[in-house]
Structures are given as structure tokens and as C-alpha cells.
Structure 1
Amino acid sequence: MNIGPNNVAIFHYTLRNESGEQLETSRGGEPSAYLHGANNIIPGLEKAMAGHAAGDVFSATLVPEDAYGERDPERQQRVPAKHLVFKGKLKSGMVVQLNTSDGRMPVTVIKAGRHSAHIDTNHPLAGQSLTFDVEVIDVRAATEEEIAHGHAHGPGGHHH
């Protein structure tokens, strides 16, 4: 079975930046799973996954607009430190979580003050070309429940 709409793809990946530095990997842990066509992963990776089958190994290099987008200088703001989730002392350059009405999102601290911080809400990987080294482990038909919920369930997917 090939990856296509309403299929669940289970895969391992290694993510590298433009310099070839490894940023993260699922290898050595549980593979990731997503429902194809439900926008569960970044657009360029989902497009690159289409048509592949279990056992396929490939690399996909994504330009910023197909990954986490271009950096937007307008996405900087000052927020009270109490809205940030971090351990230790808040410092410039740290990637922390910002509590929002839509849940937590990663932000980068530009300047830390005693009671507030100047943050950049662009995704930390925005503006970068990224390479995914992918190994497709399995492809299966999604269940009716997965299609209704808009995401894969079980190992590597969403847990209710």
C-alpha cells in the first residue's frame, strides 16, 4: 500500500539543518505516525511522503516555505514572564514554551527581564531549509475513528 489520503504512515526520521547538523531523530525510539491528508505534519514533508510504501528510504530537502515558513520580523513581542514555561533562569537565546489560548507554542527569548521578556514567536526552525532522512516502516488504511478525529491513533500517533 502506498501513502495517500486516509492512510496512516508510520516512519522513522532524522532531521538535519542546512549545515548537515542533526536537530532531532526518532531512531532509537518510537516511530512517528500521521494521517495523510489531514495536515498533521509540515506540508513539504507530507508532499514528499505521498506515494511511498513500507520499506522505502529517502531524503527530502524542504525550502522554508514548505517547512516552518520564512522568518517574520513582525512576530516579536514583549510578554509577562509568568506566561512562559521554562526551567532555571530565563536567558536570551532560550527556546521556551508560551502559554496561549490555543495551548503552548515554542518561542525564542530575545531579551529576558525581571518580570517580562522580549520573545520571537516564529517557529525556531523558521527561515531554514531542512532535510528529512525518512524510513517508511508501515502504511495502513486509517480507521473511521482516525478519519473522524483527523489524526492517527496508537503508537507514534495521538493517544486519547
Structure 2
Amino acid sequence: MSEAIKSGDTIAVDYTGKLESGDVFDSSEGRQPLTFTVDTGMLIKGFDQAVIGMKKGESKTVTIPPEMGYGPRDEKAMVEIPREQFPPEMELKEGLDLQLQNPAGQPVPARVAGVNETSVTMDVNHILAGKTLVFDITIAETGLEPPASSCGTKGGGCDSGCCGNCSCD
């Protein structure tokens, strides 16, 4: 009989992440299970807490509020960028996803929230900020070695699943 999962354990899970509407935003289906170390900041807090106490082979569905997921939407997370900083041939329209760079040169996913003749308003909230998330989780493996490359504190990584702060689209 397998032991209950606790903080610090490295496990592998199969999962499907959905919005409350039922729309799937991420899934391990057709890929390897997601391997991570529990409660180390690799994934959103609500996902970490959901697997604690589960055992290998166990499945459950968990609803994660924004505060335990990607946080509430922050209306201050809107950035005005002068239009001339974009290539003139670039067709900028509301809803377009782009990659910006922060002052340290790190990529920051952003979505065009508005365009006028002089500036572009970019929304740098995580795409799932403010959303209640529903995850179907099955524990595939327990007692694993920590992953060779982890994303660090809520870094996420599109090659390892999108439960962290990433955007795979």
C-alpha cells in the first residue's frame, strides 16, 4: 500500500485543467505525466494542496479559486507602449498574444488590450488570473527523484505542463 503524498515528495500526475465553463486549457493527455516536487512553488498553490494526502492511483476533481491559482486580475497590470516601438507592418489587434521583455530581459507574456494611433495597451496579467480552475488529477507515480530541470518558483514550463505560471499558446 502506498503512502500518502506529503510536502517535498516528487510525484507524477495525469491532469486536465478546465475553466468553470468546462473549456480545457491544459492537459497531460497524449503527453508524459507531469513530474514535480510537491509544495516547492513549481506549481500553483491550489494544485500542490490538492495532491497532499492522495496516494498512487487515486483520482479526484478539485476546484481552485483565483487566490490559490494565478491570483486575481490586477487592473494595474496594463502597460502603455508607444506604437512606434512595434514594427510598422505588425497588425496589432485586441486579443493578440505577444511576448514582451521586462527590464531584466526576461520574457513576459502579454495580450493586446487596446490599440490607438499613438499607443498599444498591453495586459500583462496571467491569462488565467481571476479565473476559478477545475482540475481532474490522477496520481500516476510517487517516490520519484526530483526532475532534472525544474522551473523554479512558479516558473512553469510548456514542455512540462502548464500548471505553473506559463502560457503555452
Q: TM-score, normalised by structure 2?
A: 0.74
Residue by residue over 1:39-71, the C-alpha shift from the partner in whole angstroms, topping out at 9 and shown as x without a partner, is 100001101111112111111101111111111
Give the structure 1 partner of residue 31 of structure 2: 29
The amino acid that maps onto 2:22 is: G
CA drift of 1:12 comes to 1.3
Task: Tell me how far apart the structure 1 counterparts of residues 81 and 31 of structure 2 sit (CA, whole Å).
Answer: 36
CA drift of 1:20 comes to 1.0
Larger deviation, residues 115-124 vs 18-27: 115-124
> Which ranges in structure 2 are unaligned for 5 or more consecutive residues?
162-169
Query: Structure 1 residue aligned with 2:72, among 70, 73, 82?
Result: 70
SS at match of 1:98: strand
> Which ranges in structure 1 are unaligned for 5 or more consecutive residues?
none
Task: Tell me how far apart the structure 2 counterparts of residues 49 and 82 of structure 1 sit (CA, whole Å).
Answer: 48
Task: Tell me how far apart the structure 2 counterparts of residues 41 and 83 of structure 1 sit (CA, whole Å).
Answer: 34
Larger deviation, residues 120-129 vs 107-116: 107-116
Query: Greater share of strand residues, 1 or 2?
Result: 1
Identity %: 27
5 Å-filtered alignment, 1:111-150, equals 111-112=114-115, 117-142=120-145
Q: TM-score, normalised by structure 1?
A: 0.78
5 Å-filtered alignment, 1:1-160, equals 1-79=3-81, 89-100=91-102, 101=104, 103-112=106-115, 117-142=120-145, 156=160
> Contact 1:83/1:99 (CA < 8 Å) preserved in 2?
no
Task: Tell me how far apart the structure 1 counterparts of residues 21 and 139 of structure 2 sit (CA, whole Å).
Answer: 24
> Contact 1:95/1:124 (CA < 8 Å) preserved in 2?
no
Query: Greater share of helix residues, 1 or 2?
Result: 1
Query: Paired residues, what number?
Result: 149
Distance 1:134 1:120, change over 3 A: same
